[in-house]
Amino acid sequence: MGKVHDMVTEVCTLYFQRMRRYVYVTPKSYLSFIEQYTSVYSKKYSELKEEEENIGKGLIKLAEAGQGVEELKEDLKKEEVQLNIEMKKANALLKNLEIESAKA
């Protein structure tokens, strides 16, 4: 920031050489610059902090969803076993019905 202040001072000198008008850079303008810089920095930092928190929450939700998917896969495997048992029972019952209907 000090370098920027020095650069502005040099430009003021060039301005005087070309336009023959004095322009001054005072410590107050330098302090205003520092104040503005810190306010912009604080604002951007808080925005980034908020985005970081949102991303963290999103990652937690994704991890929870991944665990939920794994649990559902395990439940699905159990249900498939039960489904196969019930299908065998249904096929046996269907064969019995075909035999009975053929007798009738």
Structure tokens, 46: 């808080």
pTM of the model: 0.51
Q: Where are the alpha helices (DSSP H) in 1-104?
A: 2-19, 27-103
Domain limits for position 51: 2-103
Per-10-residue mean pLDDT, the chain, length 104: 79 91 80 89 97 97 96 94 93 90 81
C-beta neighbour count of 90 within 10 angstroms: 10
Q: Which two tokens stand for residue 89?
A: 């029972």
Alpha-carbon dihedral 63, 67, 72, 74, rounded to 10 degrees: 150
Helix, strand, or coil here: 35?
Answer: helix
Number of domains in the chain: 1
